Chains A and B, each alone.
Chain A
Amino acid sequence: MNDWILPLLVGIPALGALAVALAPAKRDGLFSLALLFCAAEAALAIFTFTKFDGTNPNEQFSFSRPWFALPTGAGEAVPVAFHLGIDGLSLLLVALSGLLAPVILLSAKGHIERREREFLVWSLVMIAGMQGVFLSRDLLLFYFFWEISLIPLYFIIGIWGGPRRVYATVKFFLYTLAGSVVMLIALLYLAYNFGTVAIQELSTKDIPVRAQLGCFLAFALAFAIKVPMVPFHTWLPDAHVEAPTAGSIVLAGVLLKMGTYGFLRLGVGMFPAAAVQCGPWIAGIGAAGIIYGSLLAYGQSDMKKLIACSSVAHMGTIVVGMFALNAAGLRGGILQMINHGLSTGLLFLLVGVLYERRHVREIAEFGGLAQVIPAFAVVLTVATFSSIGLPGLNGFPGEFLCLKGAFDASPLLGAAAAVGTVLGAVYMLSMLRRVAFGPITRGENQKLIDLNGREWASAIILLIPMVWIGLQPSLFIKPTEPAVDLLISQIEKGRRSLALENGASLKIANAGAAETGKSGGRR
């Protein structure tokens, strides 16, 4: 019975897409149909979370069927399996993706006025693709879903986006595609040299350190673009600004996490020696991203762009935590992925609420909204303080663990990353103040209508886990522990093989030095 949970997690939205595409119903009927599938998806995701055995470090609810074989020039073909599994690294992300599914649709209800059927189909395909990425236990399947999830967003921004949507979509598509292609090459290299594309199997193979480094860098490029890490981040603000609200929520909420998740699952999991070798550099770039992204955010006048730049900073925090390569940092990184999805998702939702009413996103267009729409202002305040890591809300435990991990790896790294807590308060509170407080400067804002039932529903779906994680973080951290411990033993293995490699090359160098010494003596 349990082994059907995961295929259903991918299958429900996929079937939903098919049903919406073929259904004869009119507009409202179509929407309700799609929402039904999303609600089922969310319910199943929560069910998965509650059924998950948090003491088991390995994959659970496994579903594996042979898919096809990759022919090789010589020797045996490489078997490819349709292999889904869930463990502590993916559990929270799967739950988040499921939870966001109805939010995505609810947020779109007010915006999408044309070609609604297509929009619903693409949204559902996207959800299926994302779940596939987090559940795949086979590299080729992972790659398949990775690419699948790219296409719907291309259309969502390209068709329902803002005035510069074509530029934004092409940039977004090509940029991420460029990364994917590089990843594909590394993937094929692995398949042909090690005879398997099963992630678990590759993780146990002793891949030579130099090959690890090459593959890690190839994968890292794809992930760094997706996260996005500085300097590969410029596609993100453009994509966010042009995307409709639903696109922004899914982009910030889940899609970016495919990059950080990939770093964990594939980068660290399969190439631990390379991860250890590159870790300090990547963490350093992450810390630089925190400060750079914060400065960028402070300079923005467009709300969406500001939040997009803040995402660059927050994703930097996650990267710093993960590449501290210790328990606190890894746990923090995993938790912070969820936190960023929730708080940034809510922020984009709220910007969408304003955009729907005023069709502008400039901060200067607003002011004094707390007097007109107090409920909106309250939710915006909560989202803001969640984003800047106030204890009692979700942002705190995640950020705290990331920073602690960073500090344990290197106090200076921790200090650099902690600068983000100051800058975050500066730009987020500035935005909150200029939007919600002060006098009402524009007549158009006098008659704004406060959150309606649909908007409340999507906000509450996000607010509940935000408060829950804030009050009881252990409930969400504990199930990830065994998997993180497993990853840490993998990292230890990487450290050992790296030390062995260095020892060997040291020996060679010593031998070389002795040789030259001898020859010098002979001369």
Chain B
Amino acid sequence: MSLLPLIPLFPLVGAAACAILHARTLAARRRDAGAAQNERVVGAIATLAIVASFAVSVAGFFIIQHEPERRVAWIVSNWIPTGGQTIDFGFVLDPLSSVMCLVVSGVGALIHMYATGYMRGDKGYARFFTYLNLFVAAMLILVLADSLPILFIGWEGVGLCSYLLIGFWHENMKYAEAGQKAFVVNRIGDFGFLLAMFGAATWCVDAAGKGSFQFAAINESVLAGHVEPWQVTVIGLLLFVGACGKSAQLPLYVWLPDAMAGPTPVSALIHAATMVTAGVYLVIRMHPIFDASVLASSVVACVGAATALFAATMGLVARDIKKVLAYSTISQLGFLFLGAGCGAYDASFYHLVTHAFFKALLFLGAGAVILAMHHEQDLFKMGGLKRALPLEYRTMFVGAAALAGIPLMSGFFSKDEILGGVLAGRPVFGNEQINLVLYVVGAATALMTAFYTFRLIYLAFEGESRSNEHPHANPASMTIPLAALALLTIAAAALGLPSVFGEFKPLEHWLNPVLELGGESGNAAKAHGLSHSAQWLLLGASAAIAMIGYSLARATYGGGLAKSRARAEAMPGIYKTLVDRWYVDELYHAVFTKTLRLAGVVAGLFDAYVVDGAVNGVAASAKRAAAAARGLADGKLQSYSLWFGAGAVALVAAVLLLI
């Protein structure tokens, strides 16, 4: 279908147009023409580009319903002729990529609209929208790709835009450093991704012994058992290394909290709703590999669970409103991997979609609060905003309820589906006891999530104001997206209600052609299944957990900061450890950054004194020998070269004579 390339093409053209407008603004500024940049034109171009993408995605969604396998492809063959497996430039729209396109362009369009208000007056307005449009284009390439290398284009493209947008206010060295950290940490993940890509192309062969970079061929090869089990495991683990970088999982999560340096719409779009889910998308896209390797899928599940819990602990004490949401994002991404690792791909993807809505909503709400408070991000300096910002309060409350898993909200159901999937899913490391442990970890994380989410709401909106600033109202361009996302957050529940509410599961049915590759094993969680009574029990437990977390937050923060201070003082050790983020950044700095710097210095010294010393030593001794032999004081260049040459000649002559 020739419509497919249009999906990323619109934002790409939008980016180019914004770049040209930015160049014109710069030129005008240099001439001191003083012409203000035309923000309206830039904002309109950028937003409409994404809206156009969304429209094509919707069209695509309807078109593939009439296709036999619910998929259409578009290919330009032989993009890179490798001499072995060719790399075609191909897109495929199937149920999975189609939903991703809708979410990316849909949420992306809302965030673009929001950003036209948020970035008003910034001197890099057009530059911002250049990067933001470019990001959406790269993200759409990532989800549409039909092979690993094409996905990698998008993968690196979103990494570049993330780098540029985290360091958008580059005058601030801290922000620039945060951007660099994100890119470099992601490169560590990419190292795994690259090797996984080579391994898959070489090892995943078809019946005729031919390899391929294409997802379909790789999955088929694994399903047909043409690959050695250890090779499948290696590919799976390496892919997951890549996923850990992009989706901020242990031990590579450290870049994401720092990434909050970027403007808030960036955090909402890139570091919550879209880019960071790419790792999960990759795992779901290549799930036959994880289905085939117990080790790889178990590692995914355990790392996910560990990350979920670990990040949540840091969310409990963070004071920066965006950092709370950043830790929450890491934690929720951990949930997605936990579900995917146990084979509950549908649940994981369901939560991916609901999370995209409610986390984008929360970030945009946080941005509205920050802007209203004149760029104050410290929750301890807010309070009482409910009155001044009623719409922001209501919409953020909806987002918080979803994140905390308050019953009947979309996040409640999707999280519960993951937890149910963990219990019913394939045994982790072949041991069902471990599933039980992972469930408990997930439940504990859910408790913390409910607590820190409502902590945020109470600190920002309830009680008395702790600030001297008078909050100002936000423009409609910012509040409309908030309202729209709140509605989506509520409505998204319907995408995958648990089966106790009937077999109305549109998302799961829609995804079946992708998720049921390889039959039932492709959807391990469903294969086991949970009885209705067990499901009711889990739902009840989840509801209780959320309400306990909510009550704890209310009890602690309902009346200002006094109680929380007292609690923090009651356990200073734990509190400080959490505030200092378990000292992981310090540890990494000491172990990796310093070691690398030291290695650079040592290599420099070694190079200067040993390697170059030997070179100069040879030259000097040749010179001395020449001076001695010929008794000449002025034997500079000539003797130097003569003896050097003669020595070399003798050496090679000896070698040749020996032949």
Q: A178-B645, A217-B655 are in contact. Are A484 and B198 (CB under 8 A)?
A: no
Closest residue of chain A to B641, judged by CB? A174
CB–CB B177/A433 < 8 A: yes
| CB proximity to A under 8 Å, residues B60-81 | 78-81
Q: A327-B83, A426-B184 are in contact. Are A174 and B195 (CB under 8 A)?
A: no
| Interchain CB contact (< 8 A) of B84 among A177, A214, A233, A327 | A327
CB A474 to nearest CB in B, in angstroms, measures 5
Q: A211-B659, A217-B655, A477-B80 are in contact. Are A403 and B596 (CB under 8 A)?
A: no
A233 and B640 alpha carbons, distance in the complex (Å) = 20
CB A451 to nearest CB in B, in angstroms, measures 12
CB–CB A374/B199 < 8 A: no
Instruction: Kindly state whether residue A331 has any CB partner on chain B within 8 Å.
Output: yes
Instruction: Kindly state whether residue A261 has any CB partner on chain B within 8 Å.
Output: no
Closest residue of chain A to B213, judged by CB? A404
CB–CB B600/A437 < 8 A: no
Taken residue by residue from 85 to 125, chain B's Cβ proximity to chain A (1 for < 8 Å, 0 otherwise) reads as: 00000000000000000000000000000000000000000
CB–CB A407/B84 < 8 A: no
Specify which chain A residues have a CB less than 8 angstroms from the CB of B149 in the assembled complex.
400
Instruction: Kindly state whether residue A349 has any CB partner on chain B within 8 Å.
Output: no
Q: A174-B619, A178-B645, A296-B600 are in contact. Are A400 and B607 (CB under 8 A)?
A: no
Instruction: Kindly state whether residue B549 has any CB partner on chain A within 8 Å.
Output: no
Instruction: Kindly state whether residue A231 has any CB partner on chain B within 8 Å.
Output: yes
Q: A392-B157, A414-B198, A422-B188 are in contact. Are A295 and B26 (CB under 8 A)?
A: no
| CB proximity to B under 8 Å, residues A423-458 | 425-426, 429-430, 433, 436-439, 450
Instruction: Kindly state whether residue A41 has any CB partner on chain B within 8 Å.
Output: no
CB–CB A370/B603 < 8 A: no
Specify which chain B residues have a CB less than 8 angstroms from the CB of A174 in the assembled complex.
619, 640-641, 644
Closest residue of chain A to B22, judged by CB? A374
The stretch that binds A, out of B164-172, B373-381, B408-416, B483-491, is B164-172
CB B489 to nearest CB in A, in angstroms, measures 34
| Interchain CB contact (< 8 A) of A473 among B79, B83, B637 | B79
Instruction: Kindly state whether residue A218 has any CB partner on chain B within 8 Å.
Output: yes
Taken residue by residue from 179 to 215, chain B's Cβ proximity to chain A (1 for < 8 Å, 0 otherwise) reads as: 1100110011011001100110110000000000000
Specify which chain B residues have a CB less than 8 angstroms from the CB of A171 in the assembled complex.
615, 619
Taken residue by residue from 391 to 418, chain A's Cβ proximity to chain B (1 for < 8 Å, 0 otherwise) reads as: 1100011001101100110010011001
CB B148 to nearest CB in A, in angstroms, measures 11
Specify which chain A residues have a CB less than 8 angstroms from the CB of B649 in the assembled complex.
181-182, 185
Instruction: Kindly state whether residue A390 has any CB partner on chain B within 8 Å.
Output: yes
CB–CB B171/A439 < 8 A: yes
| Interchain CB contact (< 8 A) of A422 among B78, B172, B191, B655 | B191
A390 and B154 alpha carbons, distance in the complex (Å) = 10
Instruction: Kindly state whether residue A494 has any CB partner on chain B within 8 Å.
Output: no
Instruction: Kindly state whether residue B475 has any CB partner on chain A within 8 Å.
Output: no
Specify which chain B residues have a CB less than 8 angstroms from the CB of A387 in the assembled complex.
none
Do most interface residues of chain A lie in helix, strand or loop, or is the interface mixed? helix
Chain B interface, number of residues (Cβ within 8 angstroms): 65
CB A498 to nearest CB in B, in angstroms, measures 16
Q: A178-B645, A390-B156, A408-B198 are in contact. Are A474 and B652 (CB under 8 A)?
A: no
Instruction: Kindly state whether residue B480 has any CB partner on chain A within 8 Å.
Output: no
Instruction: Kindly state whether residue B612 has any CB partner on chain A within 8 Å.
Output: yes
CB B364 to nearest CB in A, in angstroms, measures 27
A368 and B173 alpha carbons, distance in the complex (Å) = 9
CB–CB A438/B652 < 8 A: no
CB A216 to nearest CB in B, in angstroms, measures 11
Closest residue of chain A to B655, judged by CB? A214
CB–CB A368/B153 < 8 A: no
CB–CB A481/B83 < 8 A: yes
Closest residue of chain B to A235, judged by CB? B615
Specify which chain A residues have a CB less than 8 angstroms from the CB of B644 in the assembled complex.
174, 177-178
CB–CB A234/B612 < 8 A: yes
A159 and B199 alpha carbons, distance in the complex (Å) = 51
Which of A's residues lie within 8 Å of B, judged by CB? Answer: 170-171, 173-175, 177-178, 181-182, 185-186, 189, 210-211, 213-214, 217-218, 230-231, 233-235, 292, 295-300, 326-328, 330-331, 368, 370-371, 374-375, 385, 390-392, 396-397, 400-401, 403-404, 407-408, 411, 414-415, 418-419, 421-422, 425-426, 429-430, 433, 436-439, 450, 473-474, 477-478, 481, 484
Which of B's residues lie within 8 Å of A, judged by CB? Answer: 26, 30, 78-84, 149, 152-153, 156-157, 160, 163, 167, 170-173, 176-177, 179-180, 183-184, 187-188, 190-191, 194-195, 198-199, 201-202, 596-597, 599-604, 607, 611-612, 614-615, 619, 637, 640-641, 644-645, 648-649, 651-653, 655-656, 658-659
- Given A299-B600, A392-B157, 18 other A-B residues pairs in contact with their CB atoms under 8 A: A185-B653, A185-B656, A211-B659, A295-B603, A298-B599, A330-B83, A390-B160, A396-B156, A400-B80, A400-B149, A403-B194, A404-B201, A421-B187, A421-B191, A422-B191, A426-B596, A429-B183, A438-B170
A sample of 10 inter-chain contacts (CB < 8 A) reads: A170-B637, A174-B619, A185-B649, A213-B659, A214-B659, A231-B614, A296-B607, A299-B597, A392-B157, A418-B191
Closest 9 CB pairs of A and B: A327-B83, A299-B600, A438-B173, A437-B176, A298-B600, A407-B198, A295-B603, A234-B612, A299-B604
